[in-house]
Structure 1
């Protein structure tokens, strides 16, 4: 197998391509020959030494892949050699072959390219599990902080398909317009105070936030009574102040979640729910936007692209296809 790993913590140049024998699938595991792998901000943090992989996961990055099942371990009942699948990983997706438990594998939805499928699973599971955690309901208003991102652009589409009204922030008129094409009311965070605009639009019942500490107070000002703030990222820091008086008066909830470090049973339940509830919307109502597909051996360039702030949607890596 060929894989891209972190030679030492640092910038994008520390990603190096290496090779080793293919892994062998264990009990209830499948071996996937990877055709595309999603690049996520968690990978950037891992490269910098700020987000270590959980115990037992490969040392190299990568939280999602799409490809073809090339071998199955003992006890596997859900998949067979030749199946076209995508999978949620705890790590190791920057490779041309990965092993994963059969419970974390999904069929590639009909009509998607490999690149689209490779950037789908992690974001879909993140969005759907958080909407469930917030008890989000049809007719409620969701504010997506970061609607142009890999999670955000799918959150818009999934929430719209689920019957929610969606507001989404993005930087600049073009990115705002693209969020609106996906079904959101776009808000340019470079033009005025976001919370003031959200309040003019009636406020939010649920907020999906990747910004973290630096947006806590602004998010609280956006919430309606009984609102729920879901913090899934820390792009603006990990520590901040919160007005508890406002929180109590709103009867609001602040919920922090991660996906990667969850126990296997929880992740498997999320994958099952996504297959049952979200997969039927793909691709007619929900479809990943692929900003760029970058060869695996240029993983550092993919990281630079994601760090540039110019990406709308997903960046994926494409391993060499075996003859």
Structure 2
């Protein structure tokens, strides 16, 4: 049996508990992995609360992204063998001692990248990478990131800087110093954002990556110069109303490999802000659900 953490019905934290499940069998296109680390994301509590729907069989093992060591591969899998150190998307849940990774959304972990760093990349890193690809900005242009201090924003600011972009990011005032460590100019999200951005970039910004949505997106939109581009990860309708698009997230293996190369080169730090053993998964979930987590939270398996 394999120890895991998940929820037994849709609702609040009281529905979470530890589970014992058989070690999963890798079907076609899948890898069985001994998990070393798993990323914790806001999507985990949103799924538990049923915000993505309540279909499917219960209980549900939580977590979407994991890193670990390949134990066996399913039919049709090429390019991976037992013993490989990998990271990727875990359709069967990542908060577990063993899980399945989809070969299409898995990459090898470089030797110089830790398991915790790798587990922080498939969701937030791939979302940031995808958003920047959609925006298609050129070196020398200016990017505004709404909600830059979270996991996606942390990755987006650094990837953008590596591409030669100037980055302005909104965050609470207490996060200003952190935002500067990302190479971005901080703007207080509690202030008159459009005015503050205009002061930092009088010519306007060329791209807006929205990680907040709603009123914050509408307040910041005037900072986008004529012909600028907007992509949102959270507000499809709001982005469309402003002439922008919604994130087309695709954490395929080639994207994950590119992210890992940036980490290995020192151009991307996933900013793992806290690690918890699997036994303290509930505490990690409470921190991410509070909305005050900075950077990435990671569960580590013994």
Q: TM-score, normalised by structure 2?
A: 0.90
Q: Which moves more between the two structures, 63-72 or 203-212? A: 203-212
Paired with 1:118 and 1:32, the residues of 2 have a C-alpha distance of 13
Paired with 2:67 and 2:59, the residues of 1 have a C-alpha distance of 17
Paired with 2:43 and 2:159, the residues of 1 have a C-alpha distance of 21
Aligned-pair CA distance for 1:58: 8.8
Aligned match of 2:194: 195
Aligned match of 1:262: none
Aligned match of 1:263: none
Asked if 1:279 corresponds to 2:260, the answer is yes
Aligned-pair CA distance for 1:278: 3.5
Of the three residues 242, 245, 262, the one matched with 1:255 is 245
Aligned match of 1:117: 118
Aligned match of 2:128: 127
Q: Deviations 1:247-288 (Å, cap 9, x if unpaired)?
A: 5xxxxx3111253xxxxxx553xx31442x443322311011
Aligned match of 2:293: 311
Distance verdict in 2 for CA 1:53–1:258, change over 3 Å: farther
What's the C-alpha RMSD, in Å, of the aligned pairs?
A: 2.4
Distance verdict in 2 for CA 1:128–1:239, change over 3 Å: closer
Question: Which structure 2 residue ranges, 5 or more long, are not aligned?
Answer: none
Aligned match of 1:50: 51
Specify the SS of the correspondent of 1:291. Answer: strand
Aligned match of 1:163: 164
How many residues are treated as equivalent by the alignment? Answer: 298
Distance verdict in 2 for CA 1:295–1:310, change over 3 Å: same
Aligned-pair CA distance for 1:30: 0.9
Question: Which structure 1 residue ranges, 5 or more long, are not aligned?
Answer: 248-252, 260-265
Residues 176 and 187, structure 1, Cα contact 8 Å, conserved in 2? yes
Of the three residues 268, 271, 281, the one matched with 1:299 is 281
Aligned match of 1:36: 37
Aligned-pair CA distance for 1:56: 9.8
Distance verdict in 2 for CA 1:215–1:304, change over 3 Å: same
Residues 36 and 317, structure 1, Cα contact 8 Å, conserved in 2? yes
Paired with 2:181 and 2:211, the residues of 1 have a C-alpha distance of 21
Aligned match of 2:71: 70
Specify the SS of the correspondent of 1:180. Answer: helix
Specify the SS of the correspondent of 1:79. Answer: coil
Aligned-pair CA distance for 1:41: 0.8
Distance verdict in 2 for CA 1:208–1:90, change over 3 Å: farther
Aligned-pair CA distance for 1:79: 0.8
Residues 92 and 100, structure 2, Cα contact 8 Å, conserved in 1? no
Paired with 1:58 and 1:166, the residues of 2 have a C-alpha distance of 42
Distance verdict in 2 for CA 1:310–1:217, change over 3 Å: closer
